[in-house]
Amino acid sequence: MHTTVSPELEALAEALDANERDARALVADLDESTGTWRREPGSWSVAECLDHLAVGNRVYLAAMEPSAARARGAGRLRRKPAVPGLFGGWFVKSLEPPVTARRKMRAPRKIVPRASPPLGDAAAAFFASHTQVQQFLRTYADVDLGGVHFPNPFIAGLRFSLATGLHVLAAHERRHLWQAWKVRSAIPPAAQ
């Protein structure tokens, strides 16, 4: 049960819950060898997709938390819907799957996954970071998420609203869970 009350925050909480269900189904019956299998050298395994998400979630939340805490301390409570603005909405949409060759992006150096992390470790790290995202949403649901901004941890000088940041995290998870499912579906029967 969520403590959020606005429709857009309920939708965001449900989207995060759906990401968690999707990730749990993804790893449910994978073993270490299939979870670390790669289609080709240089591509990511299921474990690397999850590791990338875990690191990305932690880095983004670390950038968002100080602004949210300051807003709470200053009494900046909800004034408008917690939705991305025009540019933020475009950026969120650019992260959504399916990913085409034209929409591929290189991971920022800060969130490149570890090389060949064990599946169990990567999955545990992802689920822990995902729980932190859900906790952030519950903790700051009453803050003016659409009006309070934080510095983007990857692009100097760019600031997003906290609402945009939460939507970025959800879309980023969907993107790389989609990628991980593509990897999983390509695992040859002999490797399973």
Q: What is the pLDDT of residues 46-78, one digit of tens each?
A: 999 999 999 999 999 999 999 999 999 999 999
Q: For residues 53 and 173, what is the distance between their CA atoms, to the nearest angstrom?
A: 6
CB 159 within 8 A of CB 6: no
Per-residue pLDDT tens over the stretch 125-161: 999 999 999 999 999 999 999 999 999 999 899 999 9
CB 147 within 8 A of CB 39: no
The pTM of this model reads: 0.94
Per-residue pLDDT tens over the stretch 93-136: 999 999 887 778 888 899 999 989 999 999 999 999 999 999 99
Q: For residues 111 and 124, what is the distance between their CA atoms, to the nearest angstrom?
A: 17
Per-residue pLDDT tens over the stretch 155-183: 899 999 999 999 999 999 999 999 999 99
Query: What topology is assigned to 7-187 in CATH?
Result: Four Helix Bundle (Hemerythrin (Met), subunit A) (1.20.120)
Where are the domains positioned within the chain? 7-187
